[in-house]
């Protein structure tokens, strides 16, 4: 079928809590996505955001006490769609990021799927 995607969409997960990262990775896999890597520190997250090959990203808003906005900026510079995950909700976002889909932690698979759908991406990469 023309235009049908053939490979799983690749996801960068930026999350500093290992148990949450593992849960998100499992959810993504169950939803048909491929997790490229999990970055748990700001420096590695920025490096991946600037140079790694992936289709979408999920960013923990608070990464070891720092807002993950530098990672978001790197993703915007590359036109890579992303969403935030935070225990603080959308109200915690800076005004310039209020248009970014945001998952309230804790979340379930259906909420993750819905947020990913808001990005306008498919589970399958081109």
**Domain spans of the chain, in order of start:** 7-121
Which one is predicted more confidently, 57 or 126?
A: 57
Q: Compute the distance between CA of residue 122 and CA of residue 126 in angstroms, rounded to an integer.
A: 9
56-99: per-residue pLDDT in tens?
Answer: 999 999 999 999 999 999 999 999 999 999 998 788 899 999 99
95-120 pLDDT, tens digit each: 999 999 999 999 999 999 999 999 98
Residue 122 to residues 24, 56, 81, 98, 100, Cα–Cα distance (Å) = 17, 10, 12, 22, 17
Do the beta carbons of residue 89 and residue 104 sit within 8 Å? yes
pTM: predicted TM-score of the whole model, two decimal places? 0.91
Quickly name the fold that domain 7-121 has.
Rossmann fold (3.40.50)
What phi and psi values does residue 67 have, to the nearest 5 degrees? -70, 140
The structure tokens 């490096």 sit at 47
Instruction: Answer positive or negative: Cα dihedral of 87, 125, 96, 43.
Output: positive
């Amino acid at each position: 079928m023309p235009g049908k995607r053939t490979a799983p969409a690749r996801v960068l997960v930026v999350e500093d809590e290992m148990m949450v990262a593992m849960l998100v990775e499992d959810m993504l896999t169950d939803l048909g996505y491929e997790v490229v890597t999990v970055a748990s520190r700001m420096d590695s997250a920025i490096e991946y955001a600037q140079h790694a090959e992936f289709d979408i990203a999920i960013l923990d808003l608070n990464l070891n006490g720092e807002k993950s906005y530098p990672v978001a900026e790197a993703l915007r510079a590359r036109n890579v769609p992303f969403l935030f995950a935070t225990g603080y909700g959308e109200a915690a976002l800076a005004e310039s990021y209020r248009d970014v889909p945001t998952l309230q932690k804790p979340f379930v698979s259906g909420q993750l799927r819905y947020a990913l759908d808001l990005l306008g991406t498919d589970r399958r990469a081109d």
